[in-house]
Amino acid sequence: MATSTFSEPLELPLSEEILSAINTHLTPLSPEEILAWALKHLPGLYQTTAFGLTGLVAIDMLSKLTKSPPPLIFLDTLYHFPETYKLVDEVKEKYGINVNVYTPEGCADVKAFKAKFGEKLWERDEGLYDFAVKVEPAQRAYQELGVRSVITGRRASQGADRASLKPLEVDTTGLLKLNPLFAWTFADVHLYIKNNNVPHNELLNQGYKSVGDWHSTQKSKEGEGDSGERAGRWADREEKTECGLHEDYFKMKALAKQAKKDAAAATVSTAA
């Protein structure tokens, strides 16, 4: 399929044939070229970001490509490091970009979250925690803002489920996910941040390679390369590599619903 046949914007849903043709076209391009293509072709385009290095690179690149970059969506779990919240303010000031902040449903702060879910939900039910702080807020944001496509910070060199990453994907809800830096290594990202004076999380200067919630993030071990880039995340749970945001939404929703039923049943049983 010729590149010229791609509609501007793309007509959804995409067929497997068109998606394959798009990825064939995008794969050899640079991140800047992929982003420039996205600005023309992807409908309802936003950028979801936790303000990690790759997302920051995309923000900086977009600021140089257009005067009206896609708005940002920040999923505030309420358990980010203080340094992360500081970075959000720095990015807003430097780039003058709108940041849509979404917190867990009905929870404006940690106190409200604890009242709704109890203490240390991430230890008692990791799946429900992921759904409550990332998956549900993301879906709510997409519905309220009319999001059809999102720019992500995922890269193949991060390994695990991301190892076979392609430039453009379609998730189970039909959402288009663009991964403009899918082919870059951690070294590529770090060099861009340095050369372009991009603001970044202060914790990255203290031995962290990837920063998430404070309760599930540790400093990376000495000598770890790209393969250990996310090793500081969920370090005591080797099987976990994602927060749920890039997993099957309907599966996550069903698991969260069942977890709530089980918790309610346990409460009734205890009361009896």
Q: Which domains are present in the chain?
A: 20-270 (3.40.50.620)
DSSP code for 108: S
Q: Using CA atoms, how far apart are residues 82 and 91, in angstroms rounded to an integer? A: 15
pLDDT surpasses 70 at 170: yes
What is the average pLDDT across 107-135?
A: 95
At residue 163, the pLDDT reads 79
Whole-number percent of the chain with pLDDT over 90: 69
Candidate list 168, 198, 243, 255, residue with the active-site label: 243
**Active-site residue, 243 included:** yes
DSSP code for 173: T
pLDDT surpasses 90 at 234: no
Q: Using CA atoms, how far apart are residues 200 and 205, in angstroms rounded to an integer? A: 9
Q: Which helix (H) or strand (E) holds 253?
A: helix 249-271
Q: Please state whether beta strands 176-178 and 168-170 pair in parallel, antiparallel, or not at all (unpaired).
A: antiparallel
What is the average pLDDT across 73-93?
A: 96
What is the average pLDDT across 135-158?
A: 95
Query: Which segment of 39-53, 90-104, 118-132, 224-238 scores lowest on mean pLDDT?
Result: 224-238
Under a CB-based contact definition with an 8 Å cutoff, are residues 53 and 190 in contact?
A: yes
The radius of gyration of the chain from alpha carbons, rounded to an integer in Å, stands at: 19
pLDDT surpasses 80 at 62: yes
pLDDT surpasses 50 at 226: no
Is residue 240 very low, low, confident or very high in pLDDT (cuts 50, 70, 90)? very low
Whole-number percent of the chain with pLDDT over 70: 81
Rounded mean pLDDT of the chain?
Answer: 87
Query: Which segment of 50-54, 173-177, 246-250 scores lowest on mean pLDDT?
Result: 246-250
At residue 231, the pLDDT reads 53
What is the average pLDDT across 67-82?
A: 96
Instruction: Say which residue the tokens 């970044």 belong to.
Output: 200
What is the average pLDDT across 191-214?
A: 91
pLDDT surpasses 90 at 130: yes
At residue 1, the pLDDT reads 44
